[in-house]
Structure 1
Amino acid sequence: MTESDAPTQTIRSTGTANKGHAAAVGASRVGHLQYSPRRRWFALLALALGGFGIGVTEFVSMGLLPNIAQDLLPTLYASNSADANATAGHLISAYALGVVVGAPTIAAAAARWPRKRLLTVLVACFVIGNLATAVLPSFGWVLAARFVSGLPHGAYFGIASLVAATLMGPGKRARGVAFVLSGLTIANVIGVPIGTYLGQNFGWRSAFWLVTVIFAATLVAIIATVPLQAGNPESTIRNELRAFSRPQIWLTLAMASIGFGGMFAVYSYIAPVVTDVTGLGSEVVPLVLVTFGVGMTLGNFIGGWAADKSVSRALLIFMPGIGLACLAFGLTASSAPGLFISIFFIGAFTSAASPTIQARLMDVAHDSQSIAAALNHSALNLGNSLGAFVGGVVIAAGFGYIAPAWVGIGLSIIGVSILLISLGIDRRAGRRG
């Protein structure tokens, strides 16, 4: 059976009037039944490997900002290292903006594509974008390469999450999403510290050579293991973009992007916090990143489990938790124990909220599932861009490297307020129903 054949056979077998839904469900069943359980787990691991590569490319620059600033902005770094680090933070914002632009655009335009084919194209784009980051000579060109590298991010996670949810089977949707996201969280335990070590000792570009190799391996793994799944043959760009007509979509996106901005405001400048605030050596930075990654990994699986129980209850726990963790960071990061403990909880609460927000978006998007699955990552990376930018502004204004923690608390409070408004609308609609 080919990818294009799968939806046609499914539509004939169901006899339902909703052909698009029938095709998606039928194609999902093809993916679920075609392989043995062992083969399906290999497919899930291949998808998680892509998440691992994304985690490394997204977060490794945060631990290497001083190295990047010194290499690409040598004059500014020599005169004012804080300004140079803040300017280098624009690379983080550029990647995040690439995600924001690419996720809904690609997801809507390619919703009809067979999912395996789309995944392979997206991973090939990752290979090209990160290779360009590793070889381009100037700050401006690297800035452009980071934007391009971010374009496939959201669409990859969105489509991979849909495939993983199918492979996991009924009642395990959020856990399927969490499995794909586990690659990203494990990257913060293993990949990002290794990339940071390489970048500190062999030049920051070596970290992006590592990322290029990871994505090349992911491309091979997806081709070899991921089952054939059709897209929705009835989907159109107009139908997918109809999700934006729903107020709950906008409220969820605002809650996620602003609330997550607090974490990124802190984490984007973690390297200078370690050296200039806590007073530890640069060799400790990878250990702090490992701690953050362990928190993310634990939080991700807790979040997937909690979201399958109750999405709203999980959000009411995890979103305020981000702000509380930022508060703890601001109060205790000057000491080594405070730094390690608070960064662990920032990672844990943020990562726990991620699959929960994914499930929330899929709930409120109704039939626009492809774009809903991708929009989560647009929201998170809008938060990445917002947090890195505002954090850089307060640092450049002379408030010090701990100031982004106070920014993070404010953003978290706004995010939780939007969450309460969204859930209040749900309750009123339920009473009217």
Structure 2
Amino acid sequence: MNLKDIHNVYFIGIGGIGMSALARYFKFIDKNVAGYDKTKTPLVDDLIELGIDIHLEDSVDLILQDFKSIENTLVIYTPAVPNSHKELCFFMENGFQVKKRSEVLGIITKDTFCFAVAGTHGKTTTSSILAHLLKETQTPLVAFLGGISEDFNSNFVLEGTEYSVVEADEYDRSFLQLSPDVACITSMDADHLDIYGSDEEIKKSFNDFAKKLNPNGKLLVRNGLPLKGITYGLDDESDYCITNIVIEHGTYIFDLKTPEEILKNVRFNKPGKHNLLNGLAAFAMAAQAISQPRRLAEALASFKGVQRRFSYQIKENNFVFIDDYAHHPTEIEAVHQAVSEMHPNKKVTVVFQPHLYSRTQDFVDGFASSLARFDAILLLDIYPAREEPIEGVTSSWLLDKIENQNKKLVEKSELVSAIANTEPEVLVTMGAGDIGLEVSRLKKELTYAS
């Protein structure tokens, strides 16, 4: 498929974080863009402000006539859309060019020097740091991010087309559509078992991804993963490593060792050892193509962050409110480690919204164990996303498994009073569902209450 021959681009699921970045890209290169999404969100509102026509009902009649031209229309859909979707069926049955988001990313990036970040955790933060480092070194890049970068105030960056930064998503084996020049694998924990069926199949897919590198490509892997590549880690044995860590006023200060030199007194402001690893991975990736190690290290200090990745909403002496996207037991443990390190000896309440029935079922014991570490737990109902309910898989079931007496199942409407009753010094909201839409309301009401 030649994108030059495409005039109309129609998105099914346009409001998704990855899909909306692609929609912005096509809008910025002067394509005619429209789409469907089932929910009106701030991302959808932003796209509408760009002049993109979006409707919220699955109806072929609502598709603008321009996008019913087979010859010059590309249809992009997210795997989260069911096969029974009327609009998707219409395009499929009538011979349109219909592609998944990952396929289109592969087409866009094949003529660029492609950086691809893979892993079950850390993709969005690592790719956002990488985009920031490249911009700070005046590297011409396009970036498709899985979150809103606070440095760019967007999930899409267009500073040129010579280099590209993408998240290599393992869901639905999407990352096998890419052919990166520099790739990184941050983690290979079990996830998406509804797709893969077993931990072994997930690890196999990451091995398959590693083989997708261009002939002279370079693979970076977190030290300890069962893959051969350039290693990074918080230990002296890695090719890229961080040593001599100290914390001053919430900022990490450390030495960064590369295969060639040691960079002293590097600074990084995002809390948590997991974020230190994300920053190191981004630095190591950038260093494979950009020969400015000191400038790359300096740029780490100015990285602002990603919305919903350990994002401070309120930071006062007597009360701290943090929001995070964590939706896997490993991620919850990483958030707990970061909170404990940055706010020691504080009473911490967590509000968690489980994401997907299948993930809750697959990792219920891990969720129970990681959540029990907090001083108080408020649990919301499971956010179903693309799934139908699974009998017996409920938040009540999860709650019963949490070995902590200070726990409660709550409705969103009860959150403010439930939070107040736990008397937290630190509040953490977590989850990949629509809990993020509650954050601004909680911030206002909790600020007023305090």
Say whether the fold is shared (TM-score over 0.5): no
User: Which fold has the larger relative contact order, with Cα–Cα distance below 8 Å and residues 6 or more apart in sequence?
Assistant: 1
TM-score normalised to the size of structure 1?
A: 0.23
- Structure number with the higher helix fraction is 1
TM-score (ref. length: structure 2): 0.22
Larger gyration radius, structure 1 or structure 2: 2
